[in-house]
Chain A
């Protein structure tokens, strides 16, 4: 493999990119505005959850509960009748509907253990779960505060002091910013290498390269380094100016270490891009394959929902995906300030995945050129 050829061919790839202004604009957008918007859009915690209350008790305790729900966590509760409840939930107007039964306060004080019903729209996955807990704890604390004035000391005075580390306010935007950087990195690197290869074939330039004294390895390595460089620069920019700058996310660890991890990740994803291009016969086929690969990579790597929530099988399968490891090491480095001593297993995993993908793609690429 001649390094000079690899360099020359890589520079050619970079020049090609410079000639596509729309693509450049899209790259800039993906690494700036798209990340900013996505991070800003995410509710910081439970935000503006729609709740309605059916108050059939009309007692001091029920009005106490009603006033306990206020913005920003909840929209001011709508007071509705039991008949309205179903239709509002059906239409998706409310996520939660709390039903306080008649004589609730009297039963409560008499020790008859009355029941409050909380209806949750379970189709709204995330809010249903985190909000359900909130509603529960708000109702409980309001009732116990009310009771404190009516009864003798009969509780165990153990308080729970719960704190979140690394992101005290559990600002989802911080996490969203990083997971968007990662999905842009993956998306762009696969498209740039894979689609560029198909383009060369559709325009007949690949054939031309083959009559020149360059080897398939040189062609492939040149595509990998040049496109990975572009994406790496873009992600460095996004991290410094968008994530740290505009979004003011307190990045704990070393950005250089993160970029080193990103480079390893790119080694894997650019190889994957080439592999997909060798499988796809034409650009539309490549576009479909891209969607088929990108979506699971993004959704199942732990960037949207926690890995722990996925079935064991999927967790195991996703260990073979570079995104999973990149997601892990990004969280460790950027939020928890971890060093190489902590994240080396992910680095190793990315390197191995990259190596396998590279070897495999090279093999496919050679036969693709035949």
Chain B
């Protein structure tokens, strides 16, 4: 049923190819996707479905070919900008585009703001979406604390908030329980009924879902195998089900190993040893009970299935069994012994695969397998064959040297599984191992489980959302809201419910537990105005193309919320900087005291002792035991015991008194030049003073001829207090490092954790994104400044003599600059570790060394001098010192403001220029 009346295809793909390094993801794909219908993309993992969808969504740079979406070229940035408000894209992965610390409501609200809805509109739409997806009760829960399926639903709500004309869903129901899946498609159907023009493109691994779609695209190996309505495909292949049809469409080589999985029944004489046992296990997180009094006994060799709605406590139960989480009450036993997280021996007998991919993305497939084999202590000689065997079994041979990040979800899941099996464990605990895995691979996988259970007597504890998998288990438990509802063989459960299929039985069980009549979730919470009336006109006001304040503020608000959710970050920033200011202001001092010196006095007369007394009597020097000879001097200078050695020659007293020329030798430890210079100054000064005093003694008043005084006036800081001199210089340093660090991480985090995709596929412009993210950090930096200034003046008693308004204006500019620098750095870096290091390097070193903190910029040389002259901190230091110590105001400091004013647009421009609006 291809709706022929629509105005041409919604998406037109012509000759598109895509490679990731050496891997070819798409080969010359040409495809016209009809508008106004539900299109399914089916095919095994890694055939290019996700790549194709991301190209259509405009999230990724087009390498070759053409993709026209909604009547324009998606490679054209202007068309993308115009089309994004009409497109919604939900990426693969559990809640990958969500912000974990934000609540469900806030996440959806953020998208609403991005698309320019007003407050009332957003609230109405969010309430409706939450009600329809059955998420209303979880509206305040942080997205990071949701189960996988709930994340998917939230993610869908985020995509639907702006009434898109084209909805692109990449495996939206992967990891979602049957009841939620049903609600999910119901929701899509409802929306399509309200907006008949909407086109939906879905990649899916569930063939029973694909059967309901209008039109299908079967893909394999980066190419399109066939297109057409499901019935047409069935006819073409002569198969009874889509699963079979799909397998029939595959090339001969890909399907030759495939056969229907049939697990032989467990022999009655089977081992009755209990391998896994839970007795009244309860887990509480605060006042939330995740697992409530769960008990089961699983004999050795059994395949035990765990089913349940998303967030019902399956994963938590599994974590208790592996020792990752302690049970609040009750006991869990493996092999009859209570689970002990420190028992290494038990870990060797258990294989665990967690729900989220938790292998090393920086190691290749082979290296991951190798590492785990080695850690599980498999003999060196056996590792190679074992890896080869598993690679063959899980069809990983071709991707052995690929990094997991470059692989589709399904293949990554297979890798996780291979890793969990590598040491041939006696118990396998598998948390949704087949989510996102294609049907052929799933069958292969269950065949392996069957062999392990029946031939090797391995106990398998597995959770799943696939009913055909549940049917393969020896026994299953249905879980809901932390409780086990029913536990029996699949057949017995179907029978007891009087249902036709396990899925119906399952849904009936759940609905009974939730206490809602069937079909209620979709119909009941309809908004008063009725869905059609409320949704018909796309509400968003026409957004400005290049800069829209509302979109910017959406990012500002979201960033501010994240900051607020992490009060430690803000507190640390403010308290920490006050602490640092004190430590550095107090600790850095140029006035050196208590320098150690020793004398080699070969004269030893009253005159020579008088000379030494000049030094030892001053507060600058402390005398050490006399030097005995040159060797002693050499040794003591070498180990740093003395920083000054003085040798007074024999006959010194006599010669000096008689006016015969005589020379005193002094050696300074030059290892640290600053200190050596100070020592030199002191010694010279004291030598001169001694000479004057001596002259007066010897020659009386005649010596005063030619005498003069040099009055030294230390301006701005007459007492030469280090706090007074340092504090105004430390403020710029702290206002640079901390805000820059926070700003860098705010962007790089999004890149590393995946939510940057929202920036790629929404109409947000680069400037909106950067400025929006910058605002909260400017505010934090400014608050930080006010705290520092207040502490400097009121607590450390540093006199403030100039114009405070001038300083405030400069601080505001400077906050903008330092956070802006952070954002520019962030555009080059993808990993948080590199970001930390880059920021530390780029802020700490220039600010401490080249910005006039210790050595004035005018005296620097070479590249350092250049950096000092263009580095904004230099100019802010001039302003802080000028306003704090020199009593200056705006008129005097105009020269230092100019570079700061220039830096603002330069940094913003650089950020906009370097930030990428698409993945490459």
CA distance A205 to B371 in the complex (A): 13
Chain A proximity of B721: nearest CB distance (Å): 9
Is B244 interfacial (CB 8 A cutoff)? no
In angstroms, Cα B888 to Cα A143, docked, is 36
- Given the complex, which residues of B lie within 8 Å of A292, measured CB to CB? 572, 576, 579-580
Q: Check if B715 sits within 8 Å of A15, measured CB to CB.
A: no
Q: Is there contact, CB below 8 Å, between A26 and B888?
A: no
A175 to chain B, nearest CB (A): 5
A132 / chain B contacts, CB cutoff of 8 Å: 681, 712
- Interface residue count on the B side (C-beta < 8 Å): 165
Whether B664 and A154, one on each chain, are in contact in the complex, defined by CB atoms closer than 8 angstroms, is no
Nearest opposing residue in chain B for A369, CB measure: B341
Contact A12:B363 (CB < 8 A) given known A154-B699, A299-B587: yes
Is there contact, CB below 8 Å, between B725 and A211?
no
Q: CB distance A16 to B352 under 8 Å?
A: no
Give the contact stretch, choosing among B2-10, B179-187, B787-795, B843-851: B843-851
| A41 on interface, CB distance cutoff 8 Å | yes
Inter-subunit contact B833/A331 (CB<8 Å): no
Q: Does A161 sit at the interface, judged by CB under 8 A?
A: yes
Distance of A312 from chain B, by nearest CB (Å): 9
Looking at the complex, which one of A116, A168, A282 makes contact with B709 (CB distance below 8 Å)? A116
A128-B714, A157-B659 are contacts. A48–B859 as well, Cβ < 8 Å?
yes
Cβ–Cβ contact B579 & A294, under 8 A:
no
Q: Is the CB of A29 within 8 A of B671?
A: no
- Flag whether A23 is at the interface (Cβ < 8 A): yes
Contact (A175, B671) CB under 8 Å given A136-B712, A203-B358, A342-B639:
yes
How close is B208's CB to chain A, nearest CB, in angstroms? 30
Stretch from A86-94, A234-242, A257-265, A354-362 at the B interface: A86-94
Asked whether, in the complex, the Cβ of B742 is within 8 Å of the Cβ of A161, the reply is no
Contacts of A300 in B (CB 8 A): 583-584, 587-588
Q: Interface SS of chain B: helix, strand, loop or mixed?
A: helix
The verdict on B604 contacting chain A, using a C-beta distance below 8 Å, is no
| Contact yes or no, A164 B584, CB < 8 A | no
Distance, CA A25 to CA B865, complexed state (A): 23
B862: nearest chain-A partner, CB-CB: A40
Chain A residue nearest in CB terms to B838: A26
B11 at interface, CB cutoff 8 A: no
Within 8 A of B (CB), among A155-178: 155-168, 170-172, 174-176
Contact (A338, B639) CB under 8 Å given A116-B711, A121-B715, A130-B681: yes
CA of A154 to CA of B840 in the docked complex: distance in angstroms? Answer: 59
Task: Choose one: A92, A144, A159, A306; the contact of B878 (CB below 8 Å).
Answer: A92
Question: Closest chain B residue to A110 by CB distance?
Answer: B705
- Judged by a CB distance under 8 angstroms, whether A214 is at the interface is yes
Chain B residues near A233 (CB-CB < 8 A): none
Q: Known contacts A43-B855, A117-B711, A195-B833; decide if A162 and B583 are in contact (CB<8 Å).
A: no
Residues of A within 8 A of B881 (CB): 92, 123
Min C-beta distance of A185 to chain B, whole Å: 13
Contact with A along B556-578 (1 / 0, CB 8 A): 00000000001011001100100
List B contacts of A75 (CB < 8 A): 858
Is A119 touching B664 in the complex (CB atoms < 8 A)?
no
- Verify if B675 is at the interface (C-beta below 8 Å from A): yes
| Contact of A45 with B892 in the complex, beta carbons under 8 Å | no
Chain A positions 295 through 318: 1 when the CB is less than 8 Å from some CB of chain B, otherwise 0: 110111010111011110010000
Assess the A122–B718 pair: CB atoms within 8 A: yes
For residue A95, CB closer than 8 A to chain B, the reply is: yes
Which of B374, B677, B729 has most A Cβ within 10 Å? Answer: B677
Residue contact B709 to A37, C-beta cutoff 8 Å = no
A34 on the interface (CB 8 Å rule)? yes
Q: Which of B747-764 contact A (CB under 8 A)?
A: 749, 752-753
Could you give, for residues 266-294 of chain A, a 1 whenever the CB lies within 8 Å of some chain B CB and a 0 otherwise?
00000000000000011111111111101
Q: Which residues of B contact A136 (CB under 8 A)?
A: 685, 710, 712
Nearest neighbor of A89 in chain B, beta-carbon distance: B715
User: For residue A50, which residues in chain B have a CB less than 8 angstroms away from its CB?
Assistant: 856, 858
- One digit per residue, 1 when the CB lies within 8 angstroms of any chain A CB and 0 when it does not, for chain B 814-833 equals 00000000000000111111
Residues of A contacting B717 with CB < 8 Å? 122-123
Minimum distance in angstroms from B132 CB to a CB of chain A = 31
For B584-624 the 0/1 string (1 means CB < 8 A from A) is: 10111111111100000000000000000000000000000
Q: A332 vs B728: C-alpha distance in the bound complex, in angstroms? A: 34
Given A191-B833, A314-B587, A120-B844 contact (CB < 8 Å): no
Residues of chain A contacted by B838 (CB below 8 angstroms) = 22, 26
A334: nearest residue on chain B (CB-CB)? B671
CB–CB B691/A156 < 8 A = yes
> Is the pair A166, B670 in contact by a Cβ cutoff of 8 Å?
yes
Which residue from B662, B828, B841 sits with its C-beta under 8 Å from A187?
B841
The docked-state distance in angstroms from the alpha carbon of A116 to that of B528 is: 90
- Please measure, in the bound complex, the distance between the C-alpha atom of A300 and the C-alpha atom of B323, giving whole angstroms: 45
- Inter-chain contacts of B590 with A (CB < 8 A): 125-126, 128-129, 305, 309
Question: B854 interface residue, CB < 8 Å from A?
Answer: yes
A207-244 with Cβ < 8 A to chain B: 207-208, 210-215
Docked CA distance A227–B832 (Å): 17
Bitwise interface map of B from 23 to 51 toward A, beta carbon under 8 Å scored 1, else 0 = 00000000000000000000000000000
| Contact between chains at A133 and B684 (CB < 8 Å) | yes
The docked-state distance in angstroms from the alpha carbon of A284 to that of B738 is: 10
Interface residues of A in 95-135 (CB under 8 A from B): 95, 104, 108-111, 113-130, 132-134
Question: Which one of B221-229, B298-306, B343-351, B538-546 is at the A interface?
Answer: B343-351
A75 to B858, CA, bound (A): 10
Q: Does B886 contact A (CB under 8 A)?
A: yes
The residues of B that contact A115 with a CB separation of less than 8 Å are 708-711
What's the nearest-Cβ distance from chain A to residue B760, in Å? Answer: 20
Question: Taking the nearest CB of chain A, how far is it from the CB of B691, in angstroms?
Answer: 5
Contact B864 A15 (CB under 8 A): no
The answer to whether B678 touches A129, judged by C-beta atoms less than 8 angstroms apart, is yes
**Which A residues are CB-close (under 8 A) to B722?**
125
- State whether A120 touches B714 (Cβ < 8 A): yes
Residue in B566, B712, B738, B895 whose CB lies within 8 Å of A291:
B738
B662 touching A310 by the CB < 8 A rule? no
Any B CB within 8 A of the CB of A60: no
| Nearest CB on A from B63, distance (A) | 21
Contact A163 B583 (CB under 8 A): no
Known: A123-B885, A157-B659, A212-B375. A162 touches B639 (CB 8 A): no
Which residues of the partner chain A approach B505 to less than 8 Å between Cβ atoms? none
CB-CB under 8 A from A183, the residues of chain B are 844-845
* B726: min CB distance to chain A, Å: 7
**A121–B713 alpha-carbon span in the complex (Å):** 9
| 20 A-B pairs with C-beta separation under 8 A | A41-B867, A42-B855, A50-B858, A111-B707, A120-B713, A124-B852, A125-B722, A136-B685, A162-B666, A164-B676, A202-B752, A211-B322, A288-B741, A288-B742, A291-B576, A291-B737, A302-B672, A306-B592, A332-B639, A332-B640
- 14 additional A-B pairs beyond A133-B677, A283-B832, A295-B580, beta carbons within 8 Å, are A4-B374, A113-B708, A114-B708, A117-B711, A118-B711, A121-B716, A125-B854, A127-B859, A153-B659, A172-B674, A187-B840, A300-B584, A300-B587, A304-B848
4 nearest A-B residue pairs (beta carbon)? A41-B864, A133-B681, A167-B670, A164-B670
